[in-house]
Structure 1
Amino acid sequence: MTATLTAPPAAPAVAVRVVPARGAERIRALAERAGLEPGADAYAGTVTVIVAADTERALRVPRTPGPALFVCDTISPEGRRRVLRAGAVVIGAAELTEDSLLRAVHRAAHPHPSIPYPELSGVLSTGIRPHGAPAPGTPALTARQTSVLRLMAEGHGNADIALLLGCSEHTVKNVIYELMTRLQARNRAHAVAHAVRHGLV
């Protein structure tokens, strides 16, 4: 049986459905202690919580359309990439607390165009390329654009990027302008998030 939890009136309304699995009872208990109370009905936008040994298994669990949160024992960099591209949120079972569960549920329910730095750093630091080509319709990037994007993701400013790539700061500004246009990004963080989700870096 699937449990449905809704936030108390003081908090933004969020419903959570925990898919039955080993470890699901712990999630339900943490959710209740975090201030999420059992609700009678789920509604559109319900966050489906899937507990699994790893991201590969979590991604294979059938779920209804809508936001999802994966709680996994192990999370590989490639698995984290695939979860991000699926539009879901993932958290390690070992780091799960009332606060981290609540934050993860709200991140899943209210997606933001940028990706939190620790998660982004974990994805980009390995240099592992994603399997397959970028999603259809996703614009390809030049080698220079990809290099600039990676350095942006590491937090470098334009002057540092110019120094590291051996070009002028004016060139870096032009490349970033081209990136923003090509990715239709609103800002630097949005450009990096878009590129990660679509397998461009």
Structure 2
Amino acid sequence: MSDAAAGPLRILIVDDHTVVRAGLRALLEGEPGFEVVGETGDGTDAVRLVGRLRPDVVLMDLRLTDPGTSPAGADGVDGIEATRRILASTTDVRVVMLTSHGRTADVLRAVEAGARGYVLKAGPPEELFRAVRATAAGGMALAPEAAASVVGRAVEPGPVLSEREVEVVRLLAQGHSNRAIASALFLAEATVKTHLVRIYRKLGTENRAATVSEAVRLGLIELG
């Protein structure tokens, strides 16, 4: 990990929108003590670049959404999965998640994956700079909206769905049948039924519509 004597903090930018990467690079390179060592819009490539470039901090887009193609970017690896893979391969890097939302479910998924920071893209640049410095120093840095989500869940803990169960509920919300969900997630239809039974039990619901409504209310998914 870089320090004042070792030189500027080395940063890798991961976002699938070229304009966003350019904006982040301009912001970071204009701030003393930061050096952008690379950028990519691909989750798998991000894992490879971490091994080659040895950054101190990775700024990771949570969704890595490639509109019109895969729901998790061109390579099928979203920011959560890329974070897991990066942190499984090295303990010498910190990940700060970048997103447009401070949704409870996303904040919790990011923290559980090992991200040490969570910053909204629409937030002030100073918030981003603080997050980079704090995480590089071994601390945590959550945007106020994200921190409120985590504190709210700690004070009033709700049902926790696994990542796979959240995927099932998202597909439910899109109106997919069990067969379509099974196909989309490469599961057996019987496995989808098992997931639904567990989801109903955790959320205290009895049908698909009530399950989607409760998941939205709890911030586990969002519609639209």
Greater share of residues in helix: 2
Point out which structure has higher relative CO (alpha carbons under 8 A, 6+ apart): 1
